[in-house]
């Protein structure tokens, strides 16, 4: 791990600085309404079940952000999810004969926070959305209809251009299974979480160092400390543009958490040419002494295949070797995006877990309207069972 981090630092320090990081949690918000309406159909064919799941859900998110005084702002946002069919197990509707589609009915307070923002410092307290780096460790799980948010306090400091420190205290996580999940631990968890994330712009890239100390007061065995370093680099604008992401971390148990010395490694070189981005990558969530490397507060759907077979890292660890390509397309005057990816999964010890294909096709139908068609096909090999998922989604945003 130390050799990888030293190599990343040496390469990064020899190249020109990028723009300052984009604002996130404690940044100022524009005043006014926000609204988001999303219809989704999800079809699941899983060999572990005699019946296929067919879920139709509709989500409305509506909120208001207000500004007052010098730099003060507040937001209140509600979220409602309606189940338009009952041929799926939402974990709240009792339909256990079907595969799980984790979009349960809900009517919840999604965000309610008060914040202040100065020239270089920002603070925010209350229920809020938090997304750090690429959301591999802390995210809002935006793919699911019911968003993950946190009761938290956030501090944001930019001492100079290109350098940013974010600190958070987490008191509770409101999970995507919603308040009506049959399992109380799937609804929300009481936490004592302390998050530190420091970003610094380097020539051709950005270096992020982080430490996440998360005590789970409801499931003590899940408490952990994670320390890591992430470097994202990108070459200059040319007909062929290169990119590279390197990341390494170590995790062990704290405050009753089990195990120690589970390592994380991520390597992804990229090339961009003629409007397409090609990537190959390798991600390892290691099997440590008494624990596998876990990321329970992440936006998990974005990693290790869209079929969601590895939301919990297996005891033997997980290695994901993948390749992807994505680009744009047009239908008349409308713009769209497509993506194709392949994954080969295995344990850290070399056992096979299976392979998966992912494909998506998105299109902007009109101003504020977007559509998405998406497919995941997982072929098991010694882990889980064959699973195919298909999504059709239409959404509108204000």
**pLDDT interval class at 29 (50, 70, 90):** confident
Residue with tokens 């040319």: 238
203 pLDDT above the threshold of 90: no
Residue 9 is predicted with a pLDDT of 34
For 338-374, b/e burial (b = at least 16 CB within 10 A) is beebbbbbbbbeeeebbbbbbebebbbeeeeebbbeb
- pLDDT of residue 13 exceeding 60: no
Q: What confidence score (pLDDT) does residue 25 get?
A: 45
Using a pLDDT cut of 70, give the percent of the chain over it: 93
Distance between CA atoms of residues 194 and 150, nearest Å: 12
Q: How far apart are CA 128 and CA 154, in angstroms?
A: 9
- Reply yes or no on whether the pLDDT at 286 is more than 60: yes
Is the pLDDT reported for residue 20 higher than 70?
Answer: no
The pLDDT value recorded for residue 27 is 60
Whether 266 and 229 have beta carbons less than 8 Å apart is answered as no
Residue 258 has a pLDDT of: 86
What's residue 334's pLDDT? Answer: 95
Q: How many CA atoms lie within 13 A of 232 on its CB side?
A: 11
Note the pLDDT of residue 28.
61
Can you tell me the mean pLDDT for 355-379? 97
Which residue in 112, 91, 148 sits closest to 298, CA to CA?
Answer: 148
What is the spatial distance between Cα 325 and Cα 293, in angstroms, rounded to a whole number?
A: 28
Phi, psi (deg, nearest 5) at residue 301 = -60, -25
The pLDDT value given to residue 167: 98
The values of phi and psi at residue 353, to 5°, are -115, -20
Average pLDDT over residues 363-385: 96
pLDDT at 2 over 90: no
pLDDT per position as a tens digit, 46-84: 999 999 999 999 999 999 999 998 999 999 999 999 999
Please report which confidence band the pLDDT of residue 41 belongs to, taking 50, 70 and 90 as the band edges: very high
Q: What is the DSSP string of 207-222?
A: EEEEEEEEEESS-GGG
pLDDT in tens, 306-331: 999 999 999 999 999 999 999 999 99
Category of 186 on φ-ψ map: left (φ > 0), alpha (ψ -120 to 50) or beta: alpha
Asked if the model's pLDDT at residue 11 lies above 70, the reply is no
Rounded mean pLDDT of 1-30? 41
pLDDT value for 21 = 37
DSSP helix, strand, coil percent of the chain (3-state; round to 5): 5, 60, 35
For the segment 245-267, what is each residue's pLDDT rounded down to a tens digit? 999 999 999 999 988 899 999 99
Identify which has the larger pLDDT, 378 or 1.
378
- Give dist(CA 170, CA 13) in Å, integer: 33
Per-residue pLDDT tens for 231-245?
Answer: 999 998 889 999 999
Please spell the DSSP secondary structure of 273-312, one letter per residue: ETTEEEEEEEEEE-B-BS-B---TTS-GGGSS-TT---SS
Break the chain into its structural domains and give their ranges.
2-397
Residue 386: burial class (beta carbons within 10 Å; 0-12, 13-18, 19+): middle
| pTM, two decimal places | 0.90
Instruction: Go through 188-203 and write b for each residue having 16 or more CB atoms within 10 A of its CB, e for each that does not.
Output: bbebebebbbbbbbbe
Name the average pLDDT for the chain: 92
Task: Give, in words, the CATH class of 2-397.
Answer: mainly beta
In sequence order, the β-bridge partners of residue 269 are 244
- Compute the Cα dihedral for 337, 356, 52, 146 and give only its sign: negative
Identify the three-state secondary structure at position 259.
Answer: coil
At residue 17, the pLDDT reads 33
Residue 16 pLDDT > 90:
no
Percent of the chain topping pLDDT 90: 87
Phi, psi of 300 (to 5 degrees): -70, -30
Mean of pLDDT values over 26-30: 66
């Amino acid at each position: 791990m130390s050799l990888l981090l030293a190599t990343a630092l040496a390469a990064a320090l020899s190249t020109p600085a990028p723009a300052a990081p984009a604002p996130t949690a404690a940044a100022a918000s524009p005043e006014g309404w926000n609204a988001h309406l999303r219809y989704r159909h999800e079809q699941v064919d899983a060999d572990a079940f005699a019946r296929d799941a067919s879920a139709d859900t509709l989500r409305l998110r509506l909120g208001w952000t207000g500004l007052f005084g010098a730099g003060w702002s507040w937001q209140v946002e509600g979220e409602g999810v309606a189940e338009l069919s009952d041929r799926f197990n939402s974990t709240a509707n009792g339909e256990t004969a079907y595969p799980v589609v984790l979009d349960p009915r809900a009517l919840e307070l999604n965000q309610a926070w008060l914040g202040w923002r100065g020239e270089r410092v920002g603070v925010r307290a209350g229920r809020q959305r938090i997304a750090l780096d690429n959301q591999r460790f802390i995210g809002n799980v935006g793919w699911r209809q019911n968003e993950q948010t946190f009761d938290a306090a956030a501090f944001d400091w930019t001492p100079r251009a290109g350098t940013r420190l974010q600190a958070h205290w987490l008191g509770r996580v409101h999970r995507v299974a919603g308040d009506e999940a049959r399992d109380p631990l799937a609804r929300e968890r009481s936490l004592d979480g302390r998050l530190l994330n420091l970003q610094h712009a380097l020539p051709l890239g950005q270096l992020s160092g982080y430490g996440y100390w998360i005590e789970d007061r409801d499931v003590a065995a899940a408490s952990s400390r994670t320390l890591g370093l992430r470097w994202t680099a990108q070459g200059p604008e040319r007909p062929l543009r290169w990119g590279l992401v390197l990341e390494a971390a170590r995790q062990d148990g704290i405050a009753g958490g089990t195990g120690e010395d589970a390592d994380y490694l991520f390597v992804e070189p990229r090339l961009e040419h003629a409007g397409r981005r090609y990537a190959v990558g390798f991600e390892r969530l290691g099997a440590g002494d008494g624990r596998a490397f876990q990321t329970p507060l992440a936006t998990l759907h974005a990693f290790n295949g869209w079929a969601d077979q590895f939301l919990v890292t297996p005891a033997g660890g997980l290695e994901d070797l993948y390749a992807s390509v994505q680009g744009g397309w047009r239908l008349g005057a409308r713009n769209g995006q497509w993506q194709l990816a392949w994954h080969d999964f295995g344990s850290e010890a070399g056992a096979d877990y299976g392979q998966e294909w992912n494909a998506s096709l998105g299109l902007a139908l009109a101003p504020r309207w977007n559509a998405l068609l998406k497919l995941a096909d997982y072929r098991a090999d010694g882990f889980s069972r064959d699973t195919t998922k298909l999504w059709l989604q239409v959404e509108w945003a204000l």
